[in-house]
């Protein structure tokens, strides 16, 4: 199973590829190859990326928007499974997810790209990250742990 951080990074990479491409009209399999090559440069391997995307049978024929949706869906599924296994990690990951969204916004600003649809989605991503952080912070295991850490004298 891939970690939530790996899925978030892949989603961020897909958004960066969207911003940096003048056209998203590449052949879908070529697009998937490009995304995985770019992902492999800084995170994992090409094969891991391809395997992660191919978990969705429509990925091979997907355009950039569909790949973003596939990756976001996989990320949420991973977060849900992690929530049951390790609430503290889920809490941390929910906070870090907002940072990843901000990185996407920073890249857009650096490239002077104004894509209102992505900015709107990023704003929702930051909001959902903040909500998830607050919600997971109230889970009993996390509440007990943080209470012990901060109330210990």
Residues 1-27: pLDDT tens digits? 456 566 666 666 666 555 544 334 433
For residues 104 and 2, the model is more confident at: 104
Please tell me the number of Cα atoms within 13 Å of 8 on its side-chain side: 22
Do the beta carbons of residue 15 and residue 24 sit within 8 Å?
no
Range in 9-18, 63-72, 88-97, 105-114 the model is least confident about? 9-18
Dmax of the chain from CA atoms?
61
Chain centre to alpha carbon of residue 34: 18
> 28 falls in which pLDDT band (50, 70, 90)?
very low
DSSP string, 50-91: HHHHHTSTTGGG--HHHHHHHHHHHHHHHHHHHHHH-HHHHH
What single-letter DSSP state applies at residue 138? Answer: T
DSSP helix/strand/coil, 141:
helix
What single-letter DSSP state applies at residue 98? Answer: H
What single-letter DSSP state applies at residue 114? Answer: -
* Distance, CA of 27 to CA of 36 (rounded, Å): 14
pTM: 0.48
Tokens of 131: 């909500």
């Amino acid at each position: 199973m891939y970690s939530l951080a790996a899925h978030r990074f892949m989603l961020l990479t897909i958004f960066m590829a969207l911003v940096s491409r003048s056209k998203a009209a590449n052949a879908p399999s070529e697009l998937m190859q490009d995304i995985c090559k770019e992902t492999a440069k800084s995170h994992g391997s090409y094969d891991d990326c391809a395997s992660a995307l191919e978990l969705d049978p429509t990925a091979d024929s997907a355009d950039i928007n569909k790949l973003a949706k596939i990756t976001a869906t996989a990320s949420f599924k991973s977060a849900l499974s992690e929530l049951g296994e390790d609430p503290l990690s889920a809490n941390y990951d929910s906070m870090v997810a907002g940072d990843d969204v901000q990185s996407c916004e920073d890249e857009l600003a650096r490239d002077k790209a104004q894509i209102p649809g992505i900015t709107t989605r990023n704003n929702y991503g930051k909001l959902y990250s903040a909500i998830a952080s607050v919600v997971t912070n109230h889970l009993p295991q996390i509440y007990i742990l943080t209470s012990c850490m901060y109330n210990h004298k």
